[in-house]
Structure 1
Amino acid sequence: MWLTPEERSANITKELKIAARRFLCPTCGKEFSLFQSRAIACKYCPQANKNCPNVRCPHCDSEFPLQGFIVPDNKEDRIRMNKYSDTVFNNFDDTYNRR
């Protein structure tokens, strides 16, 4: 995935670009991103923070393999994107949900 000079200067990474990209659900046809899937549809799932191999549509609750749908067909990319999204949400929780 190619990054523009402006994206690089704004500290946008390839992982962020992939996770924020919009995908069409093959079941309902609505758009969603990996961030939306993890934040809404997977929020209370016990597998969400354990390198889950799936992505869930936040609109119709259909589940698809992350590998081949959001990332290419290799396990390393799937695991890297899972770890990236987990890190983003954990950092958010640590920053904004402390009591």
Structure 2
Amino acid sequence: MINHLLKQDCSYIRIEGIDGYGDPIESDSIPAKCRAIETFEMVKNNAGEEVVSSIQFWFNSDIDLDSNTITERRIKYDGSTYTPISVANRRNTLGESIFKVVMV
């Protein structure tokens, strides 16, 4: 439904655990089409704290990222890796998820 807006190349990675040195063990990058909107905005993270978001990403609703897995995902875009702050489903009038908005 919003595929015509998702023209930028992004990828996301899963954090699969922590190695012996305390560094995250990352999966291979999973490619995804996105729309990146670079703007500074105050948002609430999953802990309810107000933080500043620098980029808003739009993804198809089938991406493997939701409020339960937000701490275990990273987004790669334009040579940088971002940690998601919050994720929200945008729904149509029938209540079906049409895309996800991820704030980083």
With normalisation by structure 2, the TM-score equals: 0.28
| Structure with the bigger percentage of strand | 2
Task: Give the structure with the higher percent helix.
Answer: 1
TM-score by length of 1: 0.29
Q: Comparing both chains, which one has the higher relative contact order based on Cα–Cα distances under 8 Å and sequence gaps of 6 or more?
A: 2
